[in-house]
Structure 1
């Protein structure tokens, strides 16, 4: 019995120490404990409220336990006065939990309804567009597409949003259930194949400015296949004037960016003979959703990362083009791309890195 008790205490101690150590982990671009938006702060405050209530209950119960343990411990063989049927005690231990539940439930229910209010994105103006910032998110195995219906542009893998205003999202999936999650900015929501989920987030400009290149990290939070853990995306949160400039740059691309060098021109020819069947290199949203088989590459050269999690550089692009299955198992490109020579990979890499819209 002593050995079993010692083993359990050791496990509890080890678990407590690991919890303490892991509580210090996390980066501001990926931590729910460093909220960077209105939704995240609301959820964080609710979490703190629940923790305070639970810790308070533990303290009170522990104090009562210790008082009873030491003050009323048995000192002789006499039987203490028996107390039963006390209406006062029954009222106390019934009313207190009810009050605690109300303290927790009222702000939780209010926040739930506030965060679920997407009525502004349901209202359209004379042009048939909304007056609020709206993004259509489409999840695929294993990449993300972002469509801006008001701006009439499409991009992928890197979501660009204005700071300090609400951004409304329509969420849907093309194949299996996924889940859209930007940990530092707000809770996750599923993307389904048979219905559209809607919610909104806001991105704190001051918090975004503290990050490298104003980049938050997003993830898929629903197990969706062998590369679920690699189904990441990045969120670049920038001031409204910079966002409008980015939109203007994207809208100005009406034709694929022309390759400049001879090697890049060779890469563009390779791209047009094979890759163009799945990848688009213009941001117009006229392409039917069913025909968007792979990420839009209009501003590929401007992105901080490729395939969701690798730094955007020539070495990683070549690794991806040479063997996509090794970097993202189960991806759709593995079954569709042809074997490329080293020379063709070099040319295609140079063409892809030249796909830029930034001034």
Structure 2
């Protein structure tokens, strides 16, 4: 009896924990707070499938309770055999047809939405302009993201800037292993592969960007290594005019250091070989070299350091001291030189001054 009570308590405890933990999580990584055309469509499909599952569960539960009650053991009926209904054609037709109808109800909108979301023909139109269809090339790396705007000839990393109220088309590719591009509030995930390019589009409604705060959050949704959970990026959705102004600023920006300490940092950046992996201009004449590490052109304006740390002086210094501590397995660890504190101060000052908007 005591063993049975102990097991019952454990089962009840785990059931309660499951219920409580099901409500945990950050709102910005929830697909249940849609903020665009694609997310709305996918949210509707999620709700439709939930309604169907709840309906089926309710019907089965009612039938189960009815059968348990009707055919319960009664005193005096030990030898009574209930009426057998094996081979009842009417029942067999009912429980065959109903699931088929439910599948059709779910399958038709899912297939229609799949074809709609796969329509990227505007990307391939002749004489296409950014006003017709804005294209962003996404490249996933261990463990950071690169965003290239081919129509503008600019490259940035970690912070994705997009215009609101229009479709943004993406070419997705991985530089090393399989990753997955996911902005929960904007739409479902899409894999990034090394051997092929996946394409899709997303939209960001201007009327619902407030729910994301300053940024929408993006993540890698495919297990890719020890720092998979830390492979985040931010999405800033702005008006079309603001986006155009940002792109123009990026095209004309040239990195420069102001102040003695920042100039020392710029010199160190070159001497330590940082330029071999990182570009500091969004329009770079050495694109392949620039893509070995994140483009740092707008580093001083980003929302996070390495995609995960608060963007402040102390976090930058901590990252420069020991990147492996904050992102295990990152490519910078094996090639990174040991820095003195004075060198870290100078590099931090230089990196904080890499700002496009203020130039």
Shorter chain as denominator, the TM-score bin is over 0.9
1:34 deviates by: 1.3
1:11 deviates by: 4.8
Preserved contact between residue 180 and residue 222 of structure 2 (Cα < 8 Å): yes
1:105 deviates by: 0.9
Local SS of the residue matching 1:29:
helix
Structure 2 partner of 1:228? 228
Q: Does 1:244 align with 2:274?
A: no
Q: Distance in 1 between matches of 2:67 and 2:174?
A: 57
Structure 2 partner of 1:119? 121
1:63 deviates by: 1.0
Residues 31-42 of structure 1 mapped to structure 2, 5 A cutoff: 31-42=30-41
Structure 2 partner of 1:90? 92
Classify 1:74/1:330 alpha carbon distance in 2 versus 1 (closer, same or farther; 3 Å): closer
Q: Distance in 2 between matches of 1:106 and 1:272?
A: 58
Structure 1 partner of 2:261? 263
What RMSD, in angstroms, separates the aligned Cα atoms of the two structures? 2.1
Preserved contact between residue 147 and residue 285 of structure 1 (Cα < 8 Å): no
Local SS of the residue matching 1:49:
helix
Structure 2 partner of 1:81? 83
1:287 deviates by: 3.1
Structure 2 partner of 1:350? 349
Q: Distance in 2 between matches of 1:14 and 1:57?
A: 27
Structure 1 partner of 2:145? 144
Structure 2 partner of 1:160? 161
Q: Distance in 1 between matches of 2:10 and 2:172?
A: 42
Classify 1:101/1:137 alpha carbon distance in 2 versus 1 (closer, same or farther; 3 Å): same
1:290 deviates by: 5.9
Preserved contact between residue 145 and residue 294 of structure 2 (Cα < 8 Å): yes
1:2 deviates by: 8.7
Q: Distance in 2 between matches of 1:283 and 1:350?
A: 19
Classify 1:325/1:205 alpha carbon distance in 2 versus 1 (closer, same or farther; 3 Å): same
Unaligned stretches of 5+ in structure 1?
A: none
Structure 2 partner of 1:300? 299
Classify 1:97/1:325 alpha carbon distance in 2 versus 1 (closer, same or farther; 3 Å): same
Structure 1 partner of 2:67? 68
From 91, 94, 106, the counterpart of 2:108: 106
Q: Distance in 2 between matches of 1:291 and 1:155?
A: 10
Residues 124-203 of structure 1 mapped to structure 2, 5 A cutoff: 124-125=126-127, 131-203=132-204
1:130 deviates by: 8.1
1:20 deviates by: 2.6
Preserved contact between residue 170 and residue 197 of structure 1 (Cα < 8 Å): yes
Classify 1:343/1:244 alpha carbon distance in 2 versus 1 (closer, same or farther; 3 Å): same
Deviations 1:27-78 (A, max 9, x none): 3322112122222222222111111111111111111122222234354233
Q: Distance in 2 between matches of 1:10 and 1:141?
A: 44
Q: Distance in 1 between matches of 2:201 and 2:152?
A: 18
